[in-house]
Amino acid sequence: MVDENEDFASMFEASLQAKRFDEGQTIQGTIVAITSEVAFIDVGGKGEATIDIEELKGEDGALEAAVGDRIEAMVVSTAGGFKLSRRLARGAATLRQLAEAFETGLSVEGRVERVVKGGYEVRVAGQRAFCPISQIDIARDTSPSEHEGRVYTFRILELKDGGKNLVVSRRVLQEEAQREDAEALRQSIVAGAVLRGRVVSVREYGAFVDLGAGVQGLLHVSEMAWTRTSSPSEIVKPGEEITVKVLRVEDDGKKIALGLKQLQTDPWAAAAEAFPVGRTVSGRVTRLADFGAFVELQPGVEALAHVSTFPPSAAGWKAGVNTGMTARFEILSVDPAAKRIGVALVAEGAPQAASPGALTVAPGARITGKVERHEKFGVFVFLAPGRTGLIPMKETGLAREADLARTFPIGSDVEVEVLEVDPAGKRIRLSRQAVIQAIERAEVREYGERQADKPSQAFGSLAEKLAGALKAKK
């Protein structure tokens, strides 16, 4: 016959080899042996856990369990073997067990009875406990009455007067579970991952998105859409479920940058094909800067009309450009990789063929441009976007001491002849004097042709008449 004490000792020693469980964890097992004090529960592994025999008895003191029965209980101790309790799991613990749960930090079950001032009245093991309203749930947007009648798991924060004065918290257990889940979740949050999340809050610079277990990432306003967005609230709303892409993870996972537009087709992918150089398209001016105007060609594709592409005027280039206006623009350059398109405003009423880039600048050509600015050495003339030429002082047709500003007002039209163009087309030398001389030669020729058709006169020669006409003209 095996001595009961020796049998108990051997089983207790074997229980030390059982697989690891955590205090407060609710587990299931099968009763494999029953002694006068405890029952041994097979919970897997090489050993067994123990539970006080009193916890297996009914109100009449009769044993309500037998070898082979499967029970559910909570781990209350792992020091020197596993000790289980069904009362803590069922919320029927004694005051002594509540004290042990408070000291060890074990959780207990409780039923939320009703809403009271500042919190809730909770019934734990037949005792009345108080749960502050801030400790009932992680979520703050729930209705207080929503928790009434619910059975939750709590942790005892305060225990006074022999267990008659209890303060409990459900939130601390939620936060612990959330931290564990967050640690596991962070393993899957890597750059490039596509995740579902819930918009928690919307700020002027973006939105915070809960990816689960309290892990939040920032969806910056610049990453919400390919189009320029003035307010994040136009794109997302608090509480909305959205799919986002992880762009960056920094500071050991504490800073997570998210993107929404990356899951949409990038309009710049087809920009080179849609906007070839030389094409004239309709665009809307979205904003003005000191260096030019930004023009939306299509949603998500914005071009720049540089200040140098606008004809000069006394009132300044902005005088004829307004935010929100729609006009025709010629495509001057396209760089899809850098997401840059250069455009020039086409003058209102100009025919399609007369777009800014259609101008041919070659030696001998006569072109009409606009006076851009004056320098001591000459006058700069705007010919076309990116094409500015210089009329040297000696080619203006004026004396060196003449007032350039008076003869050539900024923004005024001036007809010039192209004298020279460097191979790169950047330096263009112009002449106003050559145009004046050409006009004079044409007038002389026209006059001579008219006189040749008239009968000869008795006085003077044709040369004298021509000389007199030119002198009078001057």
The pair of three-digit structure tokens given for residue 12, joined into one six-digit string = 């207790």
Query: What domain range includes position 111?
Result: 97-176
Out of 52-56, 295-299, 464-468, which region has the weakest mean confidence (pLDDT)?
Answer: 464-468
Whether 368 and 419 share a structural domain: yes
Query: Do residues 304 and 367 both lie within one domain?
Result: no
The number of residues in the chain equals 474
Do 272 and 338 share a domain, yes or no?
yes
Q: Does any domain span residue 240?
A: yes
Domain-embedded: residue 444: no
- pLDDT digit string (tens) for 305-315? 998 888 887 77
Q: Which of 59, 90, 121 is the last residue of a domain?
A: 90
150 and 136 in a single domain? The answer is: yes
* pLDDT tens-place string over residues 36-61: 889 999 887 656 889 888 888 877 77
Domain membership flag for residue 45:
yes
Q: What are φ and ψ of residue 110, in 5° steps?
A: -150, 155
Q: What is the pLDDT of residue 10?
A: 56
What does the angle CA 312 – CA 317 – CA 322 come to, to the nearest 5 degrees? 150
Q: Indicate the residue among 90, 120, 155 that finishes a domain.
A: 90
Q: Is residue 275 domain-shared with residue 349, that is, in the same domain? A: yes
Query: Rounded distance, CA 27 to CA 108, Å?
Result: 14
> Is 468 domain-assigned?
no
Q: Which of 55, 4, 66, 64 has its CA nearest to residue 31? A: 66
pLDDT in tens, 337-346: 889 999 998 8
pLDDT higher than threshold 50 for residue 16: no
d(CA 463, CA 460): 8
* In a domain? residue 472: no
Total domain count for the chain? 5
Average pLDDT score over residue span 81-91? 71
Domain check: are 15 and 68 in the same one? yes
Contact status, residue 138 vs residue 127, Cβ threshold 8 Å = no
Give the residue from 345, 369, 341 showing the smallest Cα distance to 356. 345
In a domain, 452, yes or no: no
Domain stop point among 356, 385, 418? 356
pTM of structure: 0.51
Tokens 């009769």 identify what position?
Answer: 62
Q: Are residues 160 and 201 in the same domain?
A: no
pLDDT value of residue 90: 58
Asked if 283 contacts 209 with a C-beta cutoff of 8 angstroms, the reply is: no
The strand pairing partners of 375, in sequence order, are: 378
Q: In whole angstroms, what is the distance from residue 93 CA to residue 99 CA?
A: 10
Mean pLDDT for the chain? 82
**Please, which pLDDT band fits residue 446 given cuts at 50, 70 and 90?**
confident
- Judged on CB neighbours under 10 Å (0-12, 13-18, 19+), 353 is exposed
The token pair that represents 392 in the structure block? 């040297």
Whether residue 367 is found in the same domain as residue 422: yes
- For residue 134 the two structure tokens come to 């801030």
Percent of the chain with pLDDT over 90: 29
Q: Is 447 helix (H, G, I), strand (E, B) or coil?
A: helix
Query: What amino acid occupies position 99?
Result: A
Cα–Cα dist 72/93, whole Å: 15
User: Is 471 within a domain?
Assistant: no
- Asked if residue 133 and residue 58 are part of one domain, the reply reads no
Report if residue 469 sits inside a domain: no
For residue 199, the domain's CATH number is 2.40.50.140
